[in-house]
């Protein structure tokens, strides 16, 4: 599409967010129940149309999360995922039934390679499964989404037969996912056009795109699907998800908003909340956002080249196609310090997009004052790091009380640690091959476990020798990985808190293995 469409009527595109389902399937990205509820509330507030809350059949924890989100969300449709199995569909229907707008999202494989090796069913058997399961779902809930898993590798004639059967059985949304990130934009656009033209009852359903980023084409393919007639895009915050991830919600929204001249569409998303949503998702999953990530990365609006800086000084539009403020980025300031009071701190939190309960605010304020006593300048990034950490650690069973380290060139290095485990205080001293190793050995002695350390990573939140260190830790146990992050001016304290955060996630009742990696 090349012609300008400025001023023309724009089609509404529904934003379907699957951060809580497909995003959480990203290895190490497990969220607690409380974190899921907080992410869902923000998604609802920022204008997401459909929130896919989870996969209810996977575990009691997943069912509970979907059910609570369904009751909590005030505006958006809440979807539960289900395989094309009767028990899955019944469980999903039960989980979402209290939502203001409930949806069952059911899926089945359609490509030859999936039918032969995963389904082990014939084409006719799968058509019968589609009719039976979609009919069952429609008898429970009016709003039914059906997905053709691996649609982009499915012969078009058979894909059309499947879509026709799903709509005839009661599906109101048809999702044609690029499950393995295989398609190119031209191919994906043509697939949607062909299906919508050839299926007789296509006008009775909304068509949806769900793209994975294995070749880095998820956003491009999603936008191409709109040109092919899709009017729903499935995406995740920060593009997290299986393997290389999904289409990034913030990139979809801002592409449509910024390039209205060639993309005649609109969404209901409040774009100024995108940065806050990105940071909340990053804090909840403990997955850092890459610095050069489009829209929400730390460098998204940074200019270092002399030529670029010269242009920016003369006119920002020379090198910025959107303003930082349009996605909720405010300028870093140094106004906060140890003399700042509660009112100033609360105002700063509001500027940064946080809305905390009284207890959360008090905890955050106390940590801020402690940080201000230890650090000359408190940047916005420092405040975001401490508040996000408070949110992530609020319900932890194991908490760090104190840590004392003996280190230097003459070993051995030694760590003395005091932890609060539920209502007990426990103390341990351990040696190690360096202070970090000694710290982690002390945790293992106090909380015996078999988890394997897969990742230990440190970077500075801001500049300067007094900058907070942000540490990421990934632990794995029983074929499950979890990641946690923590920040503190003392790298070893941050290391201990990050390790404990990951350990808490492994031990949490809310953590669980998916019964099967699901859908797209």
- Which residue numbers belong to the known binding site for Mn(2+)? 22, 210, 212, 246
274, two tokens: 């995108």
The answer to whether residues 28 and 286 touch, using CB atoms and an 8 Å cutoff, is yes
3-state secondary structure (DSSP) of residue 236: strand
**Beta-strand runs (E) in 197-289:** 206-210, 232-235, 265-266
DSSP per-residue string spanning 390-411: HHHHTT-SEEEEEEEEE-SSSS
> CA 244 → CA 212, 239, 289, 406, distances in Å?
7, 9, 14, 41
Closest CA to 361 of 347, 372, 375: 347
**What contacts 457, CB < 8 A, 6 or more positions away?**
471, 472, 473
CB contact set of 33 (below 8 Å; sequence gap of 6+): 61, 64, 65, 68, 510
Q: Decide: 27 and 477 in contact? Cβ < 8 Å.
A: no
Tell me the C-alpha distance between 447 and 379, whole Å: 35
**Whole-angstrom Cα distance, residue 474 to residue 404?**
23
Query: Which residue, 237, 230, 236, is CA-closest to 209?
Result: 230
Question: How many Å apart are CA 174 and CA 76, to the nearest integer?
Answer: 19
| Burial class of residue 183, CB neighbours in 10 A (0-12, 13-18, 19+) | buried
Strands 424-432 and 413-421: antiparallel
Tokens of 489: 């001016």
Q: Sheet with 452-460: list strands edge to edge.
A: 452-460, 469-477, 480-488
For residue 127, give Cα distances in angstroms to 112, 117, 148, 172.
13, 17, 11, 17
- Which residue positions form the known binding site? 22, 210, 212, 246
Determine the angle formed by the axes of helices 86-96 and 123-140, rounding to 10 degrees: 30
DSSP designation for 115? I
How far apart, in whole angstroms, are the C-alpha atoms of residue 31 and residue 484? 10
3-state helix, strand, coil in the chain (%, to 5): 45, 20, 35
* Paired strand residues for 403: 417
- Of 128, 129, 131, 108, nearest in space to 118 by CA: 108
């Amino acid at each position: 599409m090349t012609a300008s469409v400025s001023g023309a009527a724009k089609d509404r595109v529904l934003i379907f967010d699957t951060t809580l389902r497909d995003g959480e399937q990203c290895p190490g990205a497990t969220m607690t129940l409380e974190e899921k509820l907080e992410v869902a509330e923000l998604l609802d507030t920022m204008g997401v149309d459909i929130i896919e809350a989870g996969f209810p059949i996977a575990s009691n924890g997943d069912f509970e999360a979907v059910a609570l989100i369904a009751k909590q969300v005030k505006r958006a449709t809440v979807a539960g995922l289900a395989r094309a199995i009767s028990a899955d569909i019944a469980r999903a229907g039960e989980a979402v039934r209290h939502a203001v707008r409930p949806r069952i999202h059911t899926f089945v494989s359609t490509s030859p390679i999936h039918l032969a090796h995963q389904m082990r069913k014939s084409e006719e058997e799968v058509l019968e499964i589609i009719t039976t399961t979609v009919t069952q779902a429609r008898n429970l809930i009016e709003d039914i989404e059906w997905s053709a898993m691996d649609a982009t590798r499915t012969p078009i004639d058979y894909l059309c037969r499947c879509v026709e059967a799903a709509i005839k059985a009661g599906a109101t949304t048809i999702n044609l996912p690029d499950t393995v990130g295989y398609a190119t934009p031209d191919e994906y656009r043509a697939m949607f056009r062909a299906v919508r033209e050839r299926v007789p009852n296509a006008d009775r359903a909304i068509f949806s795109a769900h793209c994975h980023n294995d070749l880095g084409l998820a956003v491009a393919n999603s936008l191409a699907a709109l040109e092919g007639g899709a009017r729903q895009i499935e995406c995740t915050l920060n593009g997290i998800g299986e393997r290389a991830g999904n289409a990034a919600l913030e990139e979809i929204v801002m592409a449509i908003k910024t390039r209205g001249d060639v993309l005649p569409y609109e969404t209901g998303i409040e774009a100024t909340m995108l940065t806050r949503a990105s940071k909340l998702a990053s804090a909840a999953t403990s997955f850092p956002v890459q610095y050069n990530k489009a829209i929400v990365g730390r460098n998204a609006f940074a200019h270092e080249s002399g030529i670029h800086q010269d242009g920016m000084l003369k006119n920002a539009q020379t090198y910025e196609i959107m303003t930082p403020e349009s996605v909720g980025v405010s300028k870093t300031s140094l106004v906060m310090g140890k003399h700042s009071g509660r009112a100033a701190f609360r105002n700063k939190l509001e500027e940064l997009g946080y809305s905390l309960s009284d207890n959360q605010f008090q905890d955050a304020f106390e940590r801020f004052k402690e940080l201000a006593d230890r650090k000359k300048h408190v940047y916005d990034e420092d405040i975001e790091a401490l508040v996000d950490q408070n949110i992530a650690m609020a319900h932890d069973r194991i908490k760090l009380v104190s840590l004392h380290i003996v280190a230097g060139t003459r070993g051995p290095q030694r760590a003395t640690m005091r932890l609060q485990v539920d209502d007990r205080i426990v103390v341990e001293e351990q040696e190690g091959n360096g202070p970090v190793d000694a710290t982690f050995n002390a945790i293992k002695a106090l909380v015996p476990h078999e988890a394997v350390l897969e990742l230990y990573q440190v970077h500075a939140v801001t500049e300067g020798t007094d900058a907070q260190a942000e540490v990421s830790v990934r632990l794995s146990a029983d074929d499950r990985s979890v990641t946690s992050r923590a920040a503190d001016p003392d790298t070893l304290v941050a290391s201990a808190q990050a390790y404990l955060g990951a350990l808490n996630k492994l031990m949490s009742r809310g953590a669980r293995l998916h019964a099967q990696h699901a859908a797209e």
